[in-house]
Structure 1
Amino acid sequence: MGLTSNKVLALAIMVAVLLFAATVWLWPRLSRRSWRAVTGRIGLLLATQLALFSAVGLAANNSFLFYGSWSDLFGQEQDMGVVVDHSASGKRVKVVGKQMLDVPGGSRPAMGGQIQKIVVVGEKSKIDSPAYVYLPPEYFQAKYEKRTFPASIVLTGYPGTAENLLKGLKYPRTAFMQAKDGKMQPMILVMMRPTVAPPRDTECVDIPGGPQTETFFAKDLPKAISETYRVGTKPQNWGFMGNSTGGYCALKIAMHHPEQFGASAGLSAYYKAADDPTTGDLFHGSKKQKSRANLLWSLDHLPQGKSSFLVTTSKAGEANLKSTLAFIKKVKSPARVSSITLDSGGHNFNTWRREIPPALTWISGRLSAS
């Protein structure tokens, strides 16, 4: 059983409960002052505490995926990174791995779809970054072999990993089930972290003399994906979504590049670039660029393109309620805005799991295959 298996978590919880019950049951018998009784009490307390902390640790790891496997946890993961040479072929995408989905028929791509691990080479930005691509079952079916598919870039928050989108937030499985139930059309997902120049948090901006992150996401990535997979190049073919920092990036890049993205969704997004030790000096004193990275300022001072935005917040638990309401108020035609407002929900995976299914349905409804 894997580290992130629900069976492992259930077993840890059961052991903790049994040890607690054993401690309560045996405590009267161990109340004597003999060394055996004292040793027994110490042993039961330590075992119960260890089981409890193990269960809590496994639950936290399942939510935030700090470690992906037992070997990763114990520092035994020694596989080296894959060096991809692109100069010979000129290809901007290199597939370095494939995996199936944990769904009925998942062993066959035409039944369960497929997740491909890739490396993307940025032509203009000169940024190389790994990503995961979810291809729906229809992509492998003969009757759809000449069809293009809509695609959406999906970003984690900072400093999350792309694996969080697969295992923690379950984007591929959710997209599979939503399409199977007829709630959305089959759609390709390109899943990444916003930190394409780790460990720096670039806030998806083009930093003077530094990483050109906005160019990578707005220009290089869609072009590379469209050249490799059956995805169109028009705005109605492309969406952008993410949570937290990823949500800010999705809204900002789609806002500033309506010629590339027809729709974007920001789950628990904030609306201006962070400024802290993880970002460093993003704008090098440029007030113009700093203002442009403020979405509320941009809505007031820059032309609004024909874009659709989805923003999410909650009445209790999120810090972005006020700014989200301000964002909604400032969106003007030809742009459109929709929202999800939960009664309660914090800035965490549980909240985003409640928002992802309707967000996927929403963004799918605003994109087309041709």
Structure 2
Amino acid sequence: MKLTGTPFYILTIVLFLASIVLAVVQWARRGGGGGQGSRRGNRGRAPQAKRGPLQFVGYLATILFCQSTAVLMVFVMVNNSNLIYDSWGDLLGTSSHVRAVPVPPKDNGIAADAGADKNRQKVIQSFHGVDDNAVPKDVKETDLKGQLSGVDGEVLVWTPPEYDDPAYKDKAFPVVELLAGFPGSSSTWFGTMDVSKQLAPLMKSGQVAPFILVSPRVTLLGKNTDTGCADVPGKVNAETWLSRDVPQMVLDNFRVDASPDRWALAGYSAGAHCATRLALAHPNRYRAAISMSGYNDPKEESDSLTAKDPHLREVSNPLYLLTHAATPPNVALYETGNKGDGLEDALALQKAAKSPTSVTPFETHGPHLSATWKPLVVPTFKWLTGIIPPQH
């Protein structure tokens, strides 16, 4: 049974209610009515046997059963609301989506990927609905086997209202990759964050560009390990998966522009760190990035692979990438954060940026939760529309 969705949630409610019924029955059988009336009613009867060790163990087991089912029900409720884990494997840290860890070929940018190798077999995918009631029915899912990264994972795609409009049949659309935090599900942006529900009416009215929204899997390793969105030799090619395999699939299956000026990233928490990092590392693939409560130093996510290696920690820091670039990257960054939760990192990037790099910091005042990030969707995508206009 799926971890997310209604069936398992209903099962947890049933188990919790059953535990309460069990406790009541057990209490009634031992004469739990107590009180003076109970003692008067027992006159003339043989005294009850004293409770033995087995009875005590039974009572303790019932109490623990009640507590555990209550905790489980609350956990599932919270998980369904925030889509932190979307499978048992992710929750237990037993699933790995790394098939192989080849050495990625040289990266010549997204435009080169679109037309450099005429003999390359296109990555044509089949799509199906998302098996999650929290995700809108117009979001499609495909299972992608990364040719360059050796990563296998699901990718969710939503096309704007204009995409199927005959008036736009010859138009190429801009793309935004949406990155979840850690741990996080590829469904979170469409479920908890309601990104497509919030933006669709604004796209129809022309206030927001008609972006194709793409949410790839970001939790790739077992044992609750964050990849840091990096290529780590012998362990994972997360950077290649996100910046090359996923965009290649989008290029081969949708009407999109192959210019980096028409591609962007958005992320929250660890996904925000990744969005900024990938944009600065690959200006030949992305024009902009939106960061919600992100960070520069990978050590802010203690479970990150890049935080555990001194060299990777240094070169994965967006501030390092910005200050050590051969030329300032033509990238626009919108960095949001609260004091002590990303704001200082945003201001550091702004201070270090040199034209054509631009950094727009925005102070938030909420906790490190989706309740803070969800209201940022509309204003950040309006900002992004100013960077990547509706038509090229």
If the length of structure 1 is used for normalisation, what is the TM-score? 0.72
Distance 1:156-1:335 versus aligned 2 partners, 3 A rule: same
In the alignment, residue 363 of structure 1 is paired with which amino acid? Answer: L
Aligned counterpart in structure 2 of residue 120 of structure 1, from 134, 144, 149: 144
Match status 1:347 vs 2:371: no
Q: Which residue of 1 aligns with 2:350?
A: 328
In the alignment, residue 229 of structure 1 is paired with which amino acid? Answer: F
Query: Using the alignment, how far apart are the partners of 1:197 and 1:59 within structure 2?
Result: 25
Match status 1:268 vs 2:309: no
Distance 1:205-1:67 versus aligned 2 partners, 3 A rule: closer
Query: Using the alignment, how far apart are the partners of 2:383 and 2:232 within structure 1?
Result: 32
Match status 1:219 vs 2:237: no
Match status 1:290 vs 2:313: yes
Q: Which residue of 2 aligns with 1:65?
A: 83
What number of residue pairs does the alignment pair up? 320
Query: Using the alignment, how far apart are the partners of 1:204 and 1:365 within structure 2?
Result: 27
**CA contact under 8 A between 2:190 and 2:196: conserved in structure 1?**
yes
Aligned counterpart in structure 2 of residue 311 of structure 1, from 325, 335, 351: 335
Match status 1:169 vs 2:190: no
Distance 1:281-1:297 versus aligned 2 partners, 3 A rule: closer
Q: How far 1:353 sits from its partner (Å)?
A: 0.7
Superposed CA RMSD in Å reads 4.1
Q: Which has the larger radius of gyration?
A: 2
Instruction: Provide, for residues 16-69 of structure 1, a one-character-per-residue CA deviation record: whole Å limited to 9, x for no partner.
Output: xxxxxxxxxxxxxx9965459xxxxxxxxx9xx999979955752443235779
**CA contact under 8 A between 1:207 and 1:282: conserved in structure 2?**
no
Q: Which residue of 2 aligns with 1:360?
A: 381
In the alignment, residue 216 of structure 1 is paired with which amino acid? Answer: W
Instruction: Provide, for residues 322-363 of structure 1, a one-character-per-residue CA deviation record: whole Å limited to 9, x for no partner.
Output: 222212211111111112212x21110100112122112222
Instruction: Provide, for residues 308-335 of structure 1, a one-character-per-residue CA deviation record: whole Å limited to 9, x for no partner.
Output: 00100124xx522222221221111111
Query: Using the alignment, how far apart are the partners of 1:277 and 1:63 within structure 2?
Result: 25
Q: Which residue of 2 aligns with 1:210?
A: 235
Q: Which residue of 1 aligns with 2:281?
A: 256
**CA contact under 8 A between 2:306 and 2:316: conserved in structure 1?**
no
**CA contact under 8 A between 2:298 and 2:306: conserved in structure 1?**
no
Q: Which residue of 1 aligns with 2:123?
A: 92
Q: Which residue of 2 aligns with 1:337?
A: 359
- Structure 1 residue ranges without an equivalent (≥5): 13-29, 37-45, 73-80, 82-88, 108-113
Q: Which residue of 1 aligns with 2:204?
A: 180
Distance 1:277-1:177 versus aligned 2 partners, 3 A rule: same
**CA contact under 8 A between 1:194 and 1:203: conserved in structure 2?**
no
Query: Using the alignment, how far apart are the partners of 2:289 and 2:70 within structure 1?
Result: 41
Aligned-residue identity in percent = 26
Q: How far 1:173 sits from its partner (Å)?
A: 1.2
Q: Name the SS of the counterpart of 2:147 in structure 1.
A: coil
Query: Using the alignment, how far apart are the partners of 2:145 and 2:332 within structure 1?
Result: 28
**CA contact under 8 A between 2:81 and 2:192: conserved in structure 1?**
yes
If the length of structure 2 is used for normalisation, what is the TM-score? 0.68
Q: Name the SS of the counterpart of 1:191 in structure 2.
A: strand
Q: Which residue of 1 aligns with 2:50?
A: none
**CA contact under 8 A between 1:92 and 1:122: conserved in structure 2?**
no
Query: Using the alignment, how far apart are the partners of 2:35 and 2:356 within structure 1?
Result: 80
Query: Using the alignment, how far apart are the partners of 1:67 and 1:217 within structure 2?
Result: 19
Match status 1:192 vs 2:196: no
Query: Using the alignment, how far apart are the partners of 1:178 and 1:34 within structure 2?
Result: 69
